[in-house]
Amino acid sequence: MTPSVGAAMDIRFGETVEEFMRYVTDIGLDHVEFKREYLAGHPETPGPERIRELSDRYGVSVTYHAPFRNWNIGSYNEVVRQDSVERVKRTLDDAAEARAGAVVVHGGSVPNRYPEWIRDRAKQNALHSLAECAEYAQLVGVPLCLENQPINEEKRRYTTTPADLAAMRNTVDVPPQYLGVTLDVGHAKVNGYDWRAFVEEFGHRIRVCHLHDNDGTADQHEPFPDYESVVEAIPADYFVFETKSVGDLATSVGTDKTPPETELTARE
């Protein structure tokens, strides 16, 4: 299978889904990842059936990113945990209807300032939630892909190192094709790891790769123009630029084709 290379739609983007797909294909890419935050925030968001129609029209593959800004599958609060799991399941439902290739998920977090017994409960909740979501992924037939997260001084996260991500992933007893890995090369770099360490650990379990850069001091999501060597070396199915603007996407692929103007952009 030849890997697809594309970009994620961010909540900061003003483009509609069709405008973005048209631009992505114009600059030689063939994949779009839909972040739940974009789908919840943009005033002209299509449903999964329409996304499938558009992806067929423009010849792009699709992945989804489960919500993470206001949701936390590792919450110590059981009500929040259950609601967060439900949001991931609904994302898997939409991904199945849109014929998406995978759903990216974060492993949860808990504030470091909380007492140890709270942090322990949150970790167990995160493992329980991941198992629930992975079992549902198997049910609907869409792979769930656990992402390596950047270190956060204020929060304990469970997937910042290859060993920790492996430990969390290995607690779940589902066929490997339904619980894969999302390798984020920018997160690996800011945590002080070469992305190759994740490739050595996970190999072909890496289905999705997020592409962006930083200077090693913060998770800056800068353009990533040296992506071709990464695409050649990582055995992923989908490579996704995660940039802060559509212009940064153009910088990453080295094109002078300007992004489409939108009404949302014009009002800013």
Nearest in space to 134 (alpha carbons), one of 124, 125, 126, 144:
144
Report the number of distinct structural domains present in the chain: 1
pLDDT for 97 beyond 80: yes
**The domain spanning residue 246 has which CATH number?**
3.20.20.150
pLDDT in tens, 244-264: 999 999 999 999 888 877 655
Give the range of the structural domain holding residue 21, as residue numbers without chain letter.
Answer: 4-267
105 has which bridge partners? 146
pLDDT of residue 36: 86
Q: Of 13 and 159, which is predicted with more confidence?
A: 159
Strand spans (E) along 2-133: 4-9, 31-35, 61-65, 103-105, 109-111
Judge whether 91 and 104 are in contact, CB under 8 Å.
no
pLDDT in tens, 207-231: 999 999 999 999 999 999 999 999 9
Report, as an integer, the average pLDDT of 40-44: 76
Report, as an integer, the average pLDDT of 104-110: 97
User: What six digits make up the tokens of 166?
Assistant: 């492996």
pLDDT in tens, 114-148: 999 999 999 999 999 999 999 999 999 999 999 99
Judge whether 129 and 142 are in contact, CB under 8 Å.
no
Going 203 to 207 to 212 to 218, the CA torsion angle's sign is negative
Report, as an integer, the average pLDDT of 40-45: 78
pLDDT for 266 beyond 70: no
238 has which bridge partners? 4, 208
pLDDT of residue 263: 56
Whole-number average pLDDT of the chain: 94
Rounded to the nearest angstrom, the gap between the alpha carbon of residue 175 and the centroid of all alpha carbons in its chain is 21
Which residues lie closer than 8 Å to 38 by C-beta, 6 or more apart?
9, 10, 11, 13, 45
pLDDT of residue 265: 52
In single-letter form, the type of residue at position 29 comes to: L
